[in-house]
Amino acid sequence: MSFDPERLAQPAIRRLRAYDPGHDLPRLRTRFGAVLAELGSNENALGPSPAALEAAHAALSETYRYPDPRCGALREALAQQHGVTPDQLVFGNGSHELLMQLAQIFAGADAAVMHAQFGFAVFPIAAAAAGAPAVCVPALPRTHPTAPLGHDLDAMADALREDVRLIYLANPNNPTGTWFTHAALEAFLQRVPRDTLVVVDEAYGEYMQAPGLDTAIALLDAHPNLIVTRSFSKAYALAGLRIGYLLAHASVAAVFERLRESFNINQVAQAAARAVLDDAAYLQSAIDINAAERARMERTLSERGFATLPSQTNFLLLDLGEDAQVLEQRLFDQAVIVRPMGGYGLPHTLRVSVGSRAENDRFLETL
């Protein structure tokens, strides 16, 4: 018999399909050069805070040492910022790692995972990797007035069953950009049993501005089964340093720490993240620029007859009403990279990041 490593893998891993990161952007940067408009990965085109860059550069001289395994300085700063205790925080190599590990810890063959249709792609991957049954609840209809294709929290509560151990939500949601209100989340949590963990992924949380939309962090004290994940990759523009964190009841965080790798956050990432927290002017600028450019793109697309979903993120979901693959390829041929959403079950849509003004103009002109 020939060597077959797949046969040696655990059954859950054999059934798994890897996360699709999209186009090979390093290769495309070489191919297209400065003309490339990278609007497929929801990055902050403003670039990192000067304070973060300075701190990262200074930290390079200490890279021969192991990093602080507790992320002590960053932990204290985040605890103060969010009004939690330091032992309520856990750090990850991006929030992606944390979302995957939550399923490893709390889900399994007899402990199901619930998520919404058109939710973040990592949710079903995390369930599959843990060998857990997945309960996918249909999204709100496309005709919904405020959250088309968004989470249907009432339907998710109605679909709860005894074996559901973990529920993944995203607010605002990737890839739709839609959101649910703070009041709606409170009502949902009231219907969830205390032994069922609810994870609210707020990777785009800094961009929240809509009335009634607020972070779930304020609900942690009242709901010990609530977990909130956050990221430095989006509004803080540190995607290349891979750093995220979760906030939870201290007892939940303590269980998580048993699995977390001791030195999973490198020295440079810790320094940059700690520095950017003090640069409030940078963060506000990033939020304001994103909101203005997103509104301009929405307005221009609407004037041309294109439909976009409402968004509280740094991207728009463009709904073409027909297969979007041809348009995506034509944009690609002109060095404009957007993200087709066929893998999410949305083949009629394209996700377009809000980039720099020059990149957004390139997209609109090429379109």
Give pLDDT, residue 19.
72
Q: State which residues of the chain have pLDDT below 70.
A: none
- Spatial distance between the Cα atoms of 323 and 345, rounded to a whole number of angstroms: 11
251 and 292 part of one domain: no
Question: Among 277, 311, 327, where does a domain finish?
Answer: 277
151 and 55 part of one domain: yes
Q: What is the largest CA-CA distance in the chain?
A: 63
Q: Which residues pair with 112 in a beta bridge?
A: 164
197 and 78 part of one domain: yes
Give pLDDT, residue 86.
98
pTM over 0.75: yes
318 and 239 part of one domain: no
236 Cβ partners below 8 Å, 6+ apart?
44, 48, 49, 52, 206, 273, 276, 283, 286
By DSSP bridging, strand 315-319 and strand 349-353 are antiparallel
- Spatial distance between the Cα atoms of 51 and 59, rounded to a whole number of angstroms: 12
Q: Which of 157, 100, 154, 158 is nearest to 124 (CA)?
A: 100
158 and 297 part of one domain: no
Mapping DSSP to helix (H, G, I), strand (E, B) and coil, where does residue 91 land?
A: strand
Question: Among 211, 243, 277, where does a domain finish?
Answer: 277
265 and 284 part of one domain: no
Q: What is the pLDDT of residues 334-366, one digit of tens each?
A: 999 999 999 999 999 999 999 999 999 999 999
Q: Does residue 294 contact residue 317 with C-beta atoms inside 8 Å? A: no
CATH number at residue 308: 3.90.1150.10
Asked whether residue 302 is domain-assigned, the answer is: yes
Give pLDDT, residue 280.
97
210 and 255 part of one domain: yes
Give pLDDT, residue 333.
96
Cis peptide before 340 (omega within 30 of 0): no
Q: What is the pLDDT of residues 231-265, one digit of tens each?
A: 999 999 999 999 999 999 999 999 999 999 989 99
Asked whether residue 10 is domain-assigned, the answer is: no
Give pLDDT, residue 6.
85
Question: Among 245, 277, 309, where does a domain finish?
Answer: 277
Asked whether residue 8 is domain-assigned, the answer is: no
168 and 115 part of one domain: yes
Q: What number of other Cβ atoms are within 10 A of residue 200's Cβ?
A: 25
Instruction: Give me the number of domains the chain comprises.
Output: 2
Give pLDDT, residue 304.
96
- For residue 290, give its domain range: 20-42+280-366
Asked whether residue 267 is domain-assigned, the answer is: yes
- Spatial distance between the Cα atoms of 161 and 112, rounded to a whole number of angstroms: 9
